[in-house]
Structure 1
Amino acid sequence: MGVKVVRPYLPLKALRAFEASARHLSFTRAAEELHVTQAAVSHQVKLLESQLKVPLFKRLPRGLMLTQEGELLLPVLKSSFDQISHTLDRVGESSYREVLHVGVVGTFAVGWLLPRLADFQAKYPYVDLRLSTHNNRADLAGEGLDFAIRFGTGAWHATAAQPLLPASLSVMCTPEIATRLNTPADVLGETWLRSYRADEWTEWLLAAGLPGSFPMTNSIVFDSSIAMVEAALQGAGLALAPPLMFPRQLNSGALVQPFDTAVSLGGYWLTRLQTRPETRAMASFREWLLTAINN
């Protein structure tokens, strides 16, 4: 019977150092890739050569050349490391869920995001999405948010902002109220439902060809477009809100747009702190969001 040769334990660091050096044919570039010193890479390769009892490189004045043994070993190690990396990615996706905290202005959450969440979860099951709604006032740092989706012009201090959707504002009301609105001037005799921004109605009046300086004595202020539109559904008055976020109410005929006039004072933005590095879950959510919006 033959004698079985027992190979010495080969350190993973040494194998990784050889594989990187062989791909680059340089200890220096391998060290940069592995984030260690050139001396450390050279030491690990020498350790491997010592344990295998064969040279793997020919050291040349201007670089390295693989020996016959090195050429034999490189493709095996490269394939093995690639398979390990691929398997770890798959294991990570199935067993590890990365938490993602997203604050969303209520109007966008109800009108756009919630109907599409099932698609996101199906495509990115490793993301443990935690949603909180707000009335357009989000404290990214204080609330520990990875992202905040909010309405505005994109100018928030120390914040990176990416545009998502425009949000032109238009008058919406019940069909019954609409029968009384023959011209834009007829809105002056109705109750105005508005946000805390008084200039929204002013800008709409100007866009409709009317003076914008009418007193707002007959108005109700809301901190949420969702509540405002619900009031409009109940016949409380005229809502000035983004029709894009209320397709169900408009498509069903419960609300109508009596005029084509619309005014744009901002849009929806995906925001994060400039100092917040983007995680894998953040990148997945951002890419999914932009793809869904553009399709």
Structure 2
Amino acid sequence: MDRPDLPLNALRVFEVAMRQGSFTKAATELRVTQAAVSHQIARLEDLLGTALFLRTSQGLVPTDEGRLLFPVLEHGFDAMAHVLDRLGGRRDVEVLKVGVNTTFALGWLVPRLASFRAAHPEIDLRISSNNNRVEILREGLDMAIRFGTGGWTGHDTIPLMEAPLSPLCAPEMASRLESPADLGRTVLLRSYRSAEWPGWFAVTGTPCPPVAGPVFDSSVALAELAASGAGAALLPVAMFEGHIRQGRLTQPFDATVSAGKYYLGWPSDRPAKGAMTTFAQWLSEQLPDLA
């Protein structure tokens, strides 16, 4: 049986819709109407003789056939764009899109980007910051760096560095803290990971006081609040050494607790392009603890 000729435009619409997880968002990226996206997908499904998406009350859910087709198309369109760039004069440039936890981006990566650009002018590195929640495929990224314990389903990961947590606060507040128990008289600013403060107090052998401070999903926001004197925040000290050097934050106690590591990850079923390998190698050279 002859394979039907598949229109390139419909394949491109499917790739974008799959990555965005929404016909509406795909239409916005492609600058067409949602109806046009739906029509192209229906046309492609008709030609293939199989459904690529299930339309549910929760939104689009890709079928097994859709999941099988997507990485092949994504890699193919990336390869086409690379060749077209070369034909257009950008012969040595490869775009690499990396999602980065904001704390890691500001506390470690950004100060070193000039070094990366100098060493690898052939790579157009594009950083998208996030608060540790990222979907690589849907956001059109190649890789991502985030904090956690490493169990990233469907992805290959490599650990980058430990980031033990310790209380940080404004110097004036630190002057009133003689023991961990004294933190019970301050506001304990919290991240969405509720076990962190109890874990740190357990390390010090001190009962954990009631933790009722505001909850934030950004360590950068917690650091700014702590520096303003609003309370003490449990933060990855290595990411805020600049604040400590500037006298904005102080670490009143040496005790630390581990809540995870920073990891570099990418989809397991995606062929690794050269820029991905180069970026991972550069990180390994910059981070001696890379394992």
TM-score by length of 2: 0.67
For structure 2, which runs of at least 5 residues remain unmatched after alignment?
1-85
Supply the distance in 1 between the matched residues of 2:211 and 2:236 (Cα, whole angstroms). Answer: 20
Pair 135,162 (structure 1): closer, same or farther in 2 beyond 3 Å: same
Tell me the residue number matched to 2:158: 162
Q: Look up the SS of the partner of 1:249 in the other structure.
A: helix
Q: Is the 8 A contact 2:159 2:263 kept in 1?
A: yes
1:211 deviates by 2.3
Match of 2:189 in 1: 193
**Greater CA drift, 110-119 or 251-260:** 251-260
Task: Kindly provide the CA deviation profile for residues 256-287 of structure 1, in whole angstroms up to 9, marking residues without a partner as x.
Answer: 11101100010100011111111111111110
The aligned counterpart of 2:117 is 121
RMSD: 1.7
- 1:23-34 → structure 2 map (5 Å cutoff): none
Identity among equivalent pairs (%):
48
Give per-residue Cα distances to partners, 1:99-132, cap 9 Å, x unaligned: 1110000000000000000111111111111110
Match of 2:136 among 114, 137, 140: 140
Which letter maps to 1:274? Answer: S
Q: Per the alignment, in what secondary structure is the counterpart of residue 98 of structure 2?
A: strand
1:273 and 2:264 are equivalent in the alignment: no
> Is 2:181 the counterpart of 1:182?
no
Q: Matched residues in 2 for 1:208 and 1:147: separation?
A: 37
Amino acid at match of 2:114: A
Superposed, which structure 2 residues align to 1:231-246 within 5 Å? 231-246=225-240
Report if the CA contact (8 A) 1:94-1:126 is conserved. Answer: no
Contact map agreement 1:159 1:274 (CA 8 A) in 2: yes
Q: TM-score, normalised by structure 1?
A: 0.66
Partners of 2:175 and 2:116 lie apart in 1 by 42
AA aligned opposite 1:118: A
Q: Structure 1 CA distance, aligned partners of 2:134 and 2:284? A: 21
Deviation string 1:142-196 (CA, Å, 9 cap, x unpaired) is 1121110000011111111100010100001111001111111000110011201
Structure 2 Cα separation of the partners of residues 191 and 128 of structure 1: 43
Quote the Cα distance in structure 1 between the aligned partners of 2:114 and 2:211: 42
- Deviation of 1:253 after TM superposition, in Å, equals 2.0
Kindly tell me the number of residue pairs found equivalent between the two proteins. 203
User: Any gaps of 5 or more consecutive residues in structure 1?
Assistant: 1-90
| Rounded Cα–Cα distance in structure 2 between residues aligned with 1:229 and 1:265 | 17
1:215 equivalent to 2:220? Answer: no
Q: Deviations over 1:32-87 (max 9, x none)?
A: xxxxxxxxxxxxxxxxxxxxxxxxxxxxxxxxxxxxxxxxxxxxxxxxxxxxxxxx
Which one has the largest radius of gyration? 1
Which one of 240, 256, 261 corresponds to residue 262 of structure 1?
Answer: 256
Runs of 4+ in 1 over 6 A off after TM superposition: 91-94
